[in-house]
């Protein structure tokens, strides 16, 4: 099938979710994404190759389900860049690629002889996107990060939690996703520029600033009003709404999110909860509700505690009050008709893992739908196809290189 | 992307997509009703004084755009909007139809087959829930992110971080969808409609929680400051001497890392305070790195890593969070201070990376520092944005836009 990006080839030295998440989107739309991995460390620079979850008791670098999820639809080759022959192979691959991308620490590519100027000499219009925590410039350029560190130093972690105690933070590497979003945008924008001008370029993406870009209002409230954002549990940012929170429901660890955007919705909430206290004069206006917000939240929480979460959410939404169960993985993945309709979780086939579901792309394209059916590449799975057929090397050379640890 | 004209029919989830494209140089015209987009009424406001042109939420998501107001109940104005859309490369909207169903992609695209129309909506086009009321809180609860965030104590509700992150997630996918569709059009001249489902976007922005479920039906549960996971993991956040917290990242594994950790303890005069330093010496004297997979299975490995964690906690308790972060990184241990957004933004590295962008607000006789973009385009540098537009500020251009069908 011809995809939106079937005309593109990506030489992908990136990994983990922060890089692989971007090139997965490109692969889903038809780009030929070729992951270049190190045969010496068995590809474990991308730690996800070697960690679970696994589908069964088998373990190994070709069996990590997280790696499979993030790399579905890509090709994989092994090249040992410590060797001159390996470096030459990478040069040949760059020469037939539109994009080179990576998320090593700053300086790694230059030290290997593949900085932007080197890449440009190999292919003059190459689009090179680097992606690391602090970027390739600035005083912290040598610092290393992973998702939770990015979230910490960008301000995101601080905003999630109760006041005056330890931050709860984000319970996953949110900014690995954020990094992948911006990396995808960078690649596509640079490609459009190349399309118009014939010129490639280096885009230096820094993930910590990307985290700050996710907090524009909070930052403007500081630069304009000198107001410092503080964690406030689940209350609305900037006192926009009240009640606004996550309240207990019947059952173990069951919760409902409710947001009343105006006085009318508070009245509707009172009716659905059968809790007339919410319509008392002291809760009549937003300033009044904010002044007594602890009491207000306690009233709402006491009324929701005995309710069935899905039923209450449905009743509230039906009356026009924003509400949702805090959905478990089962509820959000397997219980959403819209996601089933759009095929958000396709099954892919991996040579060793077998048939397994992965995350798809949350967009539906009318003319060029995305498509994922192959699992992630095994380590060096496509050496013959890419290094042999695409780059024109014969079987004897490949065998020789494999024996000598070049690939 | 200065060749690109984007018409954003302002809707709940369109602003971030429009801003990201505007940052890249696209000419983004945000179309509002005469009374203004509801985003203009969202707090916080300049100096705390509400006003349609004073919302920092509006500023943060609409910098670099121009604003025109169109009364779609006026048939002449509606025709004007039709012509404005006809001259656009990309439309951003909240559905496949706007102006109360009077302008539809299906009709416009038959006249303008190159048109790219990106719908960004809470549940996707055609959803039975299309009219359900939502806020950031309820979308993040229904989409999955909130499930992962919170505290070890599950009597405390799951937590939502600040920043309207569902708007960021949906908006970033909106920009990505537009750019991928554009790449296709660059090659084929064919446009299409892209349907971004924000709930789906949040659903695939939960990292490992999703694939643990997809492959094993394993349920990740929230934990204080660390990844939600099927089993309880060890704490990673440490309380620092100034009362702030830091996240410690990945523990040492290699012998030389343990040597450096011992040196750090010694430099701070803390070795005697940590009897478990014995285990660090043991690890420093090993030939091989510690196998993290052996935690809990091998007693010595477990003791070594427990000692490493205790060492980090002890060191952190003697340093302010920012100093701990800098010292830790400089000694080769990736870590991060949990900074409030304003401290993150004012950090010297953020300034050096160009995140402080002065933007003139002549209507207030002020220059405001906006957060910049997280990437540096070497070949097509981004230009600082103009300030977010006043309501209807560019109504004077609407007729020339409408006449610009030849684009």
* pLDDT class of A14 with cuts at 50, 70, 90: very high
Nearest alpha carbon to residue A65 among A361, A340, A347: A347
Q: What tens digit of pLDDT does each residue of A335-385 get? A: 999 999 999 999 999 999 999 999 999 999 999 999 999 999 999 999 999
Report the distance separating Cα A353 and Cα B30, nearest Å: 48
pLDDT at B407: 47
Alpha-carbon gap: B306 to the closest alpha carbon of chain A (Å): 20
Judged by CB atoms closer than 8 Å, whether chains meet at B378 and A205 is answered as: no
Q: CA of B333: which chain A residue's CA is closest?
A: A144
pLDDT at B405: 55
* pLDDT class of B398 with cuts at 50, 70, 90: confident
Q: B338, B364, B390: which is the final residue of a domain? A: B338
Using a pLDDT cut of 90, give the percent of chain A over it: 98
Angle CA B70–B74–B77, to nearest 5: 45
Judged by CB atoms closer than 8 Å, whether chains meet at A358 and B214 is answered as: yes
Q: What tens digit of pLDDT does each residue of B183-200 get? A: 999 999 999 999 999 999
Judged by CB atoms closer than 8 Å, whether chains meet at B149 and A244 is answered as: no
Q: What tens digit of pLDDT does each residue of B207-262 get? A: 999 999 999 999 999 999 999 999 998 899 999 999 999 999 778 889 999 999 99
* pLDDT class of A1 with cuts at 50, 70, 90: low
Q: B316 and B200, same structural domain?
A: no
Q: B257 and B113, same structural domain?
A: no
- Domain architecture of chain A: domains with CATH: 9-213+339-404 (3.40.50.10540), 237-248+255-325 (3.30.1540.10)
User: Which pair of structure tokens corresponds to residue B20?
Assistant: 């990201």
Instruction: Calculate mean pLDDT across residues B290-317.
Output: 89
Alpha-carbon separation of residue A40 from A78, A82, B97, B286 (angstroms): 9, 9, 54, 22
Q: B257 and B143, same structural domain?
A: no
Q: CA of B210: which chain A residue's CA is closest?
A: A329
Instruction: Calculate mean pLDDT across residues B175-187.
Output: 97
Q: B255 and B166, same structural domain?
A: no
Instruction: Calculate mean pLDDT across residues A148-159.
Output: 97
A118 is catalytic: no
Instruction: Calculate mean pLDDT across residues A68-86.
Output: 97
Alpha-carbon gap: B22 to the closest alpha carbon of chain A (Å): 12
Q: B107 and B81, same structural domain?
A: yes
pTM for the model stands at: 0.97
Judged by CB atoms closer than 8 Å, whether chains meet at B59 and A220 is answered as: yes
A172 → closest Cβ in B217, B228, B236: B228
Q: CA of A133: which chain B residue's CA is closest?
A: B374
Q: What tens digit of pLDDT does each residue of B22-52 get? A: 999 999 999 999 999 999 999 999 999 999 9
Q: B314, B338, B362: which is the final residue of a domain? A: B338
Report the distance separating Cα B158 and Cα B156, nearest Å: 7
Report the distance separating Cα A37 and Cα A31, nearest Å: 18
Q: Which residues of B28-67 are buried (b: 16+ CB within 10 A; e: fewer)?
A: bbbbbbeebbebbbbbbbbeeeeebbbbbbbbbbbbbbbb
Q: B360 and B327, same structural domain?
A: no
* Pairing mode, strands B237-239 and B245-247: antiparallel
Catalytic one among A12, A98, A176, A297?
A176
A233 → closest Cβ in B159, B196, B197: B159
pLDDT at B406: 41
Q: What tens digit of pLDDT does each residue of B332-369 get? A: 999 999 999 999 999 999 999 999 999 999 999 999 99
Place of tokens 């890249």: B24
Domain count, chain B: 2
Judged by CB atoms closer than 8 Å, whether chains meet at B192 and A360 is answered as: no
Judged by CB atoms closer than 8 Å, whether chains meet at B24 and A320 is answered as: no
Angle, helix B255-267 to helix B277-284, in steps of 10 degrees = 140
The boundaries of the domain holding residue B284 are: 235-239+245-338
Alpha-carbon gap: B184 to the closest alpha carbon of chain A (Å): 5
H-helix or E-strand spanning residue B138: helix B136-143
CATH number of the domain residue B17 falls in: 3.40.50.10540
Alpha-carbon gap: A214 to the closest alpha carbon of chain B (Å): 6
Q: What tens digit of pLDDT does each residue of B77-115 get? A: 999 999 999 999 999 999 999 988 899 999 999 989 999
- Does ipTM surpass 0.90 in this model? yes
A201 → closest Cβ in B158, B337, B379: B379
């Amino acid at each position: 099938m011809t995809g939106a990006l079937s005309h593109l080839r990506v030489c992908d030295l990136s990994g983990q979710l922060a890089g692989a998440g971007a090139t997965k989107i490109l692969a889903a739309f038809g780009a030929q994404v070729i992951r270049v991995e190190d045969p010496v460390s068995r590809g474990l620079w991308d730690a996800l190759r070697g960690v679970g979850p696994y589908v069964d008791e088998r373990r190994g670098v070709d069996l990590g389900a997280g790696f499979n999820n993030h790399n579905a639809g890509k090709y994989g080759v092994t090249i040992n860049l410590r060797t001159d022959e390996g470096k030459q192979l990478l040069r040949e691959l760059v020469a037939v690629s539109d994009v080179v991308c990576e998320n090593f620490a700053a300086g790694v590519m230059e030290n290997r002889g593949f900085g932007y100027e080197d890449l440009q000499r190999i292919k003059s219009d190459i689009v090179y996107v680097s992606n690391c925590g602090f970027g390739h410039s600035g005083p912290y350029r040598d610092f290393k990060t992973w998702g939770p560190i990015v979230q910490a130093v960008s301000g995101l972690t601080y905003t999630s939690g109760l006041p005056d105690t330890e931050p709860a933070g984000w319970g996953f590497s949110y900014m690995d996703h954020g990094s992948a979003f911006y990396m995808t945008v960078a690649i596509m924008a640079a490609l459009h520029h190349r399309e118009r001008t014939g010129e490639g370029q280096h885009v230096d993406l820094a993930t910590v600033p990307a985290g700050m870009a996710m907090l524009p209002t909070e930052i403007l409230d500081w630069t304009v009003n000198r107001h410092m954002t503080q964690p406030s549990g689940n209350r609305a940012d900037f006192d926009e709404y009240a009640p606004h929170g996550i309240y207990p429901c019947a059952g173990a660890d069951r919760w409902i999110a409710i947001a009343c955007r105006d006085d009318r919705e508070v009245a509707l909430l009172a009716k659905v909860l059968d809790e007339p206290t919410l319509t008392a004069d002291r809760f009549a206006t937003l300033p009044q509700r904010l002044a007594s917000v602890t009491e207000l939240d306690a009233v709402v929480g006491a009324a929701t505690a005995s309710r069935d979460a899905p039923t209450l959410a449905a009743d509230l939404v039906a009356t026009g009050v924003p509400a949702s169960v805090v959905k478990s993985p089962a509820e959000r993945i397997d219980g959403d008709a819209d996601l089933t309709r759009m095929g958000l979780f396709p099954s892919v086939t991996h040579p060793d893992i077998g048939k397994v579901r992965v995350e798809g792309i949350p967009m539906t394209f009318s003319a060029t739908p995305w498509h994922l059916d192959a699992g992630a590449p095994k380590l060096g799975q496509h050496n013959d196809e890419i290094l042999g057929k695409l780059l024109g090397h014969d079987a004897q050379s490949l065998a020789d290189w494999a024996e000598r640890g070049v690939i | 992307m200065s060749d690109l004209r984007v018409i954003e029919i302002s809707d709940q989830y369109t602003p971030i997509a429009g801003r990201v494209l505007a940052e890249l140089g696209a000419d983004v015209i945000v179309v509002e009703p005469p009374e203004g987009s509801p985003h203009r009424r969202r707090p916080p406001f300049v100096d705390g004084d509400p006003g349609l042109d004073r919302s920092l939420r509006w500023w943060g998501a609409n910098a670099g755009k121009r604003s025109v107001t169109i009364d779609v109940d006026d048939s002449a104005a509606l025709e004007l909007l039709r012509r404005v859309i006809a001259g656009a490369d990309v439309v951003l909207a909240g559905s496949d139809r706007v102006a109360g169903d009077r302008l539809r992609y299906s009709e416009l695209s038959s006249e303008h087959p190159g048109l790219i129309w990106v719908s960004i909506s809470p549940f996707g086009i055609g959803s039975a829930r299309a009219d359900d009321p939502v806020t950031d809180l309820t979308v993040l609860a229904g989409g999955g992110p909130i499930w992962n965030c919170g505290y070890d104590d599950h009597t405390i509700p799951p937590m939502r971080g600040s920043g309207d992150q569902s708007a960021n997630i949906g908006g970033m996918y909106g920009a990505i969808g537009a750019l991928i569709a554009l790449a296709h059009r660059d090659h084929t001249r064919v446009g299409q409609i892209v349907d971004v489902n924000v709930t789906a976007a949040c659903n695939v922005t939960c990292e490992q929680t999703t694939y643990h479920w997809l492959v094993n039906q394993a349920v990740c549960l929230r934990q204080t400051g660390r990844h939600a996971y099927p089993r309880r993991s060890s704490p990673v956040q440490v309380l620092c001497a100034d009362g702030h917290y830091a996240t410690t990242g990945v523990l040492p594994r290699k012998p030389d890392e343990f040597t450096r950790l011992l040196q750090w303890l010694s430099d701070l005069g803390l070795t005697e305070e940590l009897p478990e330093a014995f285990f660090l010496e043991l690890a420093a004297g090993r030939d091989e790195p510690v196998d993290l997979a052996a935690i809990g299975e091998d007693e010595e490995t477990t003791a070594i890593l427990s000692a490493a964690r205790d060492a980090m906690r002890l060191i952190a308790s003697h340093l302010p969070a920012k100093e701990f972060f800098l010292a830790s990184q400089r000694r080769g241990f990736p870590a991060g201070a949990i900074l409030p957004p304003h401290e993150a933004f004012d950090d010297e590295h953020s300034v050096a990376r160009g995140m402080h962008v002065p933007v003139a607000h002549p209507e207030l006789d002020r220059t405001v520092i906006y957060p910049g973009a997280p990437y540096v385009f070497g070949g097509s540098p981004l230009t600082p944005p103009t300030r977010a537009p006043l309501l209807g500020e560019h109504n004077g251009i609407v007729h020339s836009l409408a006449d610009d069908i030849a684009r």
